Amino acid sequence: MDRPNEPTFLPKGDNSVTVDIPSEYFTDRYKPLEDSLSNRFSTDDRVKIKKIAIPDLSYPLQLGRRDNFSLFIPSHHRMAASLINTFMGLRTLDDFMSVAAYARDRVNPYMFMYAMSVAILHRKDTKNLNFPSFHEIFPDKYVDGELFARAREESNVVPENQRMPLEIPVDYTASDLEFEHRIAYFREDLGINLHHWHWHLVYPFDAPMDIVNKNRRGELFYYMHQQVMARYNFERFCNNLPRTKRLLNWNDPITEGYFPKLDSLVASRVWPARVANTRLSDVNREVDQIKFDIQDLERWRDRIYSAIHSGSIVNAQGNSVQLTETGGIDVLGNIVEASILSPNRNVYGDLHNLGHVAIALSHDPDHRHLETFGVMGDPATAMRDPVFYRWHAFIDDIFMEHKNTLPRYTTQQLDYPGVTVRDVEVMPNGGKKNVLSTYWQQSDVDLSRGMDFTPRGSVFARFTHLQHTPFTYKIQVNNGSGQRMGTCRIFLAPRLDERGLPFLFRDQKNLFIELDKFTVNLRPGANTIERKSTDSSVTIPFERTFRNLEQGRPGNENSQTGQDFNFCGCGWPQHMLIPKGARGGFPCTLFVMISNYQDDKVETASGSSCADAASYCGIRDALYPDKRSMGYPFDRLPREGADTLRSFLTKNMFTKDIDIEFNNRTVRPKTPGANAQPTTQPK
Ligand code: CUO
């Protein structure tokens, strides 16, 4: 998967292997040179590719090798789905390798890597295979484009052991004249963008049915993106910005502009920018086989809202199907996204995906300038753009509209009789009680796997990202009955709204970000529960975001098992678990609840892997591990009379005022590539 533009037969690097491909697999350009190329590049370590009859790839080959690939454009995702289908259908691992080697030199590299990744994740014989993280193969989707010229210079001139990390300035996409730039560190965070890419890799909306049809995937589409919005709004408050405004009037100019400054190494183009006040237009681009009007989006939106208000949808057979209390959100998620599980695409269309496309093509909707799509067209880059959040605030509002029609949780559905949470505190390692501490950290990422036709050896890019001191929750619980189990749910929200005034609970509940969820055993009487922030059920470990595949190899002290590198790439990055806070302390409310495990538990396949970021990503090959509606207990309107958080609380819940204190200092790696997870408060 390294160096996506280089031909397959080229050896990878220092410890490289030569891929011996059958001569029929050479592309036309290289066929006449076959003998000299094989000798020039071969190494002793060889992987032999078996020659087989190649299945028909003419459909995925319709996308040009140098074109950009968008998962949201229907013709593109259909081609990708067909390629995935081909990969999944190959009987043996040898056959899979063979077709992959053939396709790699011909198919569009982005589409190839996407389809390969989905196939490797889901084929039984490759599930535990290591593959490099997407930012290593396509660093151009994550790194300031300006860096690559410097990286080439560094790798051509400087010997590997003397190369310096190339620092990416914090303010490379905009200046402080743009208010939205205050939270660029969130939007452009490597780990957040990787999480989003991985989420969509694990939950594709168009692929063979057995891959798409995962337990509660429509509901998880809603919940994961709802949490992204809550986290973004929380982060906005920390930076004196108000909540995101929904993108509602699609004929009005879009206030926010965005200039990504990413260069595509594959398409050899810069990613197009969107100037402030761009308007959406009807899209008609023959090149992408795509044609739809803004009015189509409006019709789909209106039909979805009217389905929500009537409490039922119409399926493809014309029958009315109820949006049930627990299952309705899952159906709605698939309709809105839309995935191939949508029960009626003729009526409800493809609202969310084509919204991404309309925005991504707003600078050239009819292809008159021969431009490709902007960052909103790709899940690997979409979260960089401020308009992503305006679009998803609208999408989230649709789901909220449905949630608001549901019966409100009764006290009985919230309480766990006999269980009383008496206190909670957070203790940062080496810090002050109930004050979380954040600061900047720099980490290095190796670009060399993604840099084609350059000398081998590592070239590091140095990122600046938010970090927090790890901490421990200490929860005091009284259990007035015998031994039993509970689910501990921990959330955090800003204490005051953007005006500095107390919230109405119905607004504040939407800003609660999930920090953790885990099962607890309660003894009769007093219990003290301790839990580390690094064990969070929403995050993947720091090392998994800023990893280097070599470090993951067995024998290395940072070794992880192969499974960590694929499905397990999904998960909110640990370094972004806690919002930035503010200097002098940002006031927050920590919420803890212990619910009755009997009402939460799900029969999960034992030994399921990749369970450590289950809250936003689910568990591989298993049911979603919590039977409650995702977002419980904040997903529905509060019961009559519960106007404030305090009045919402039952005995098994507890809240604590805590602060997040931001320190404006930067911790750097000691040597290039030596990224370190913090263990205590840095001095
Ligand atoms: Cu994840 Cu709009 O769905 O990007």
Residue located via tokens 């919940």: 223
Residues 6 or more apart whose CB falls under 8 angstroms from that of 304 comprise 332, 335, 336, 348, 351, 398
Q: What average pLDDT does this structure show over 34-56?
A: 81
Q: Is the ipTM of this complex over 0.95?
A: yes
At residue 6 the predicted structure's pLDDT band, cuts being 50, 70 and 90, is: confident
DSSP 668: -
Q: 179-403 sits in which CATH class?
A: mainly alpha
pLDDT at position 552:
40
* 491 closest CA partner among 508, 477, 466, 479: 508
Q: Identify residue 463 by its one-letter amino acid code.
A: F
Distances (CA, A) of 266 to 28, 68, 361, 533, 632: 20, 8, 19, 39, 43
Q: From ligand 1's centre to the CA of 375, what distance in Å?
A: 12
Phi–psi pair at 463, nearest 5 degrees: -95, 150
Q: From ligand 1's centre to the CA of 333, what distance in Å?
A: 12
pLDDT of residue 11 exceeding 80: no
Q: Is 575 exposed, middle or buried (0-12, 13-18, 19+ CB in 10 A)?
A: buried
Q: From ligand 1's centre to the CA of 350, what distance in Å?
A: 13
Looking at the domain 18-127, which fold is it? Hemocyanin, N-terminal domain (1.20.1370)
Ligand 1 atom closest to the CA of 356, numbered from 1:
2
Of 392, 398, 616, best ligand 1 pocket probe by most atoms within 8 Å of the beta carbon: 392
Ligand 1 atom closest to the CA of 228, numbered from 1:
1
Comparing 18-127 with 179-403, is the CATH topology the same?
Answer: no
pLDDT digits (tens, 9 = 90+) for 157-203: 888 888 888 888 888 788 888 899 999 999 999 999 999 999 998 99
Ligand 1 atom closest to the CA of 196, numbered from 1:
1
Compute the distance between CA of residue 256 and CA of residue 277 in angstroms, rounded to an integer: 7
Q: From ligand 1's centre to the CA of 285, what distance in Å?
A: 22
Smallest CA separation from ligand 1 atom 4, residue: 379
pLDDT at position 268:
63
Q: Identify residue 424 by its one-letter amino acid code.
A: V
The least confident of 176-180, 228-232, 533-537, 670-674 is 670-674
pLDDT at position 549:
44
pLDDT digits (tens, 9 = 90+) for 304-325: 999 999 999 999 999 999 999 9
Distances (CA, A) of 76 to 217, 313, 658: 22, 28, 47
Cβ pair 673, 462 in contact under 8 A: no
Q: From ligand 1's centre to the CA of 224, what distance in Å?
A: 9
pLDDT at position 680:
79
The least confident of 9-18, 46-55, 135-144, 288-297 is 9-18
DSSP 274: B
Rounding to the nearest 10 degrees, give the CA dihedral for residues 315, 318, 320, 326: -10
| Angle CA 17–22–26, to nearest 5 | 90
In the chain, how long is the greatest CA-to-CA distance?
81
Task: Please provide the DSSP assignment of 3-21 as one string.
Answer: STTS-TTS--STT--EEE-
Hey, where are the domains in the chain?
Answer: 18-127, 179-403
User: Within 10 A of 325 (CB to CB), how many other CB atoms are there?
Assistant: 12
* 224 closest CA partner among 207, 201, 247, 199: 199
The strand order across the sheet containing 525-532 reads 419-428, 471-479, 525-532
Residues with CB under 6 A from ligand 1: 196, 200, 225, 352, 356, 379, 382, 392
Of 202, 225, 357, best ligand 1 pocket probe by most atoms within 8 Å of the beta carbon: 225
Compute the distance between CA of residue 225 and CA of residue 553 in angstroms, rounded to an integer: 33
Cβ pair 297, 358 in contact under 8 A: yes
Q: From ligand 1's centre to the CA of 248, what distance in Å?
A: 17
Ligand 1 atom closest to the CA of 200, numbered from 1:
1
pLDDT of residue 563 exceeding 90: no
pLDDT at position 554:
36
* Strands 471-479, 18-20: pairing kind: unpaired
Residue numbers annotated as active site? 337
pLDDT at position 486:
97
Ligand 1 atom closest to the CA of 353, numbered from 1:
2
* Strands 18-20, 46-48: pairing kind: parallel
Does residue 369 or residue 544 have the better pLDDT?
369
pLDDT digits (tens, 9 = 90+) for 410-436: 999 999 999 999 999 999 998 899 999
